[in-house]
Amino acid sequence: MTNAEYSPGLEGVIAAPSTVSYLDLEKEEIVVRGYDLIELAQKRSYLETAYLVIHGHLPDERETMAFGERLKEESALPKGAYSVLEALPRQTNAMDALRTGISLLASYESPEVLQDNSTAANLIKGLRIMAKGPVLACNAYHAMKGQPFVPADPKLGFIENVLWMVHGKQPDQESTEALDLIFTCYIEHEMPNSTFAARVIASTLSDIYGAITGAVASLKGPLHGGANEAAAMMLLDILKQGGPSKAEEYIMDMRSRHERVMGFGHRVYMRRYDPRAYLLKDYIPKFTHKKPEGEELYAIYRTVEEVMFRETKLYPNADYPIGFLLYLLDIPIPLFTPLFLCARIPGLVAHVVEQHADNRLFRPRVLYQGPRGLHPA
Ligand code: ACO
């Protein structure tokens, strides 16, 4: 293996053929099953887009209804899952609790179904994971806070239920539409680290629960999904340190310490605007009224973006506006990354289905840099 064949971080390496999605940099388009994700986010619901991602075609009205009903039927958690969430130490990170929860769900499948990697079986199990994901995430958070559990309400739609389980009250339409848009923007994004992790695990013919459990661990990292929490916390920290007038100095200080500003930069987009972030930034002013400090935070948000562009030519990625929007929607910060994962489940399911349907084991090599020729005494 030579230097020439080695790409640090596998940058630019094509890991698998796929019909799920593709980042077309020249056309600035996130192609999802042939459609532009941004157009889908503007014109279609999260549920319709999830169906498209998983099944490969946009659903008609009947298919959307049936899909929504199946998700409702599968949303109840096994009792044991609540007991496990309750038994976790209160200091457990919500993303770790979600990882444990998804892993636990595997135990409720019969061994035959669990090990069945056929497309039909994966679609059934994938739908269960999608239905139960937000219930696990929200209730993991409640368990850590010592709050009562809030199961899904079968009368509510998928996104409404997420807000219901977070806040324990009927969500307003404005918030539901905003979360629908955010979930759609997060739904699928070609081959990020978490999707790659899921496919690597699936390639050993391990099951879909294991593959998605691995993806949760990957997405938790601050260089990936964890950036939405870090970005919101930075905006709040700037507010605490003095507000909009302090934003420039705050970022310059971070730069002088060679720290990364979370929510900026992207391996594939590099110095291009992430189309999801470009779409979502225009929604922010509609939601600043939801928090008393919303306008001030928005001024900080804009200054940070300006300074980052001036200093680094880096643009925000999706996690920057989404971290802020989720805060404005009054979602607790520790739930931001777990909800990102929940929104991404359709994408992960589609990739695991694809991997299992046409599998070749992932097994790369190393560029060996250790010693040779040593002998034990
Ligand atoms: N803040 C400051 N500098 C940055 C940032 C950032 N957020 N991102 C990249 N850079 C700089 C690096 O310091 C480096 O500079 P140098 O060449 O002078 O050393 C240069 O840009 C290239 O950075 P790399 O780390 O080589 O680029 P890579 O492709 O590996 O990084 C990554 C991509 C990890 C996403 C990076 O931009 C980053 O750390 N961003 C912050 C974390 C983040 O927002 N993650 C979310 C990703 S999107 C998502 O998950 C939805």
What's the average model confidence in pLDDT over 124-147? Answer: 97
Mean pLDDT along residues 74-79: 96
CA of 225 to the centre of ligand 1 (A): 13
Mean pLDDT of 83-108: 98
Mean pLDDT, rounded, for 168-193: 97
Say which CATH topology domain 227-328 has: Cytochrome p450-Terp; domain 2 (1.10.230)
Domain(s) labelled CATH 1.10.580.10 in the chain stretch across: 29-221+338-357
Q: Which two tokens stand for residue 118?
A: 């056929």
Percentage of the chain modeled with pLDDT above 90: 98
Does residue 2 surpass a pLDDT of 90? no
Q: Does the CB atom of residue 261 touch ligand 1 within 6 A?
A: yes
Q: What residue spans in the chain does CATH classification 1.10.230.10 cover?
A: 227-328
Query: Does the pLDDT of residue 130 top 80, yes or no?
Result: yes
> What pLDDT score does 1 carry?
57
The answer to whether 97 and 85 have CB atoms below 8 angstroms apart is yes
**Is the CB of 312 within 6 Å of ligand 1?**
yes
Pocket test for ligand 1, best of 21, 216, 266 (most atoms within 8 A of CB): 266
Q: Is the minimum distance from the CB of 9 to ligand 1 under 6 angstroms?
A: yes
Atom of ligand 1 nearest to the CA of 255: 2
In the prediction, which pLDDT does 375 show? Answer: 98
Q: Give tens-digit pLDDT for 266-276.
A: 999 988 999 99
Residue in 270, 276, 314 to alter for ligand 1 test, most ligand atoms within 8 A of Cβ:
314
User: What is the pLDDT at residue 271?
Assistant: 87
Which residues are registered as beta bridge partners of 162? none
Cα–Cα dist 270/157, whole Å: 37
Question: What is the predicted pLDDT for the residue at 211?
Answer: 98
29-221+338-357 in CATH: which number? Answer: 1.10.580.10
pLDDT tier, 4 (very low <50, low <70, confident <90, very high otherwise): low
Contacts of 318 (CB under 8 A, 6+ apart): 185, 186, 274, 276, 277, 280
> Is residue 319 in contact with ligand 1, taking CB distance under 6 Å?
yes
- Atom index in ligand 1 nearest the CA of residue 312 equals 3
pTM of the model: 0.97
In short, whether 314's Cβ falls inside 6 Å of ligand 1 is yes
Mean pLDDT value across the chain: 97
Tokens 């643009």 belong to residue: 315
Please state, in angstroms and rounded to a whole number, the distance separating the CA atoms of residues 139 and 142: 5
Q: Which residues contact 105 (CB under 8 A, 6 or more apart)?
A: 78, 81, 128, 129, 132, 136, 209
- Closest residue (by CA) to atom 25 of ligand 1? 267
Catalytic residues: 224, 266, 319
Cα distance between residue 65 and residue 51, in whole Å: 11
**Distance, CA of 109 to CA of 286 (rounded, Å):** 44
* 270 alpha carbon – ligand 1 mean position (Å): 8
Per-residue pLDDT reduced to its tens digit, 278-324: 999 999 999 999 999 999 999 999 999 999 999 999 999 999 999 99
Residue nearest atom 27 in ligand 1 by C-alpha distance? 267
Give the C-alpha separation, 341 to 267, whole Å.
Answer: 19
Of 23, 37, 184, 223, best ligand 1 pocket probe by most atoms within 8 Å of the beta carbon = 223
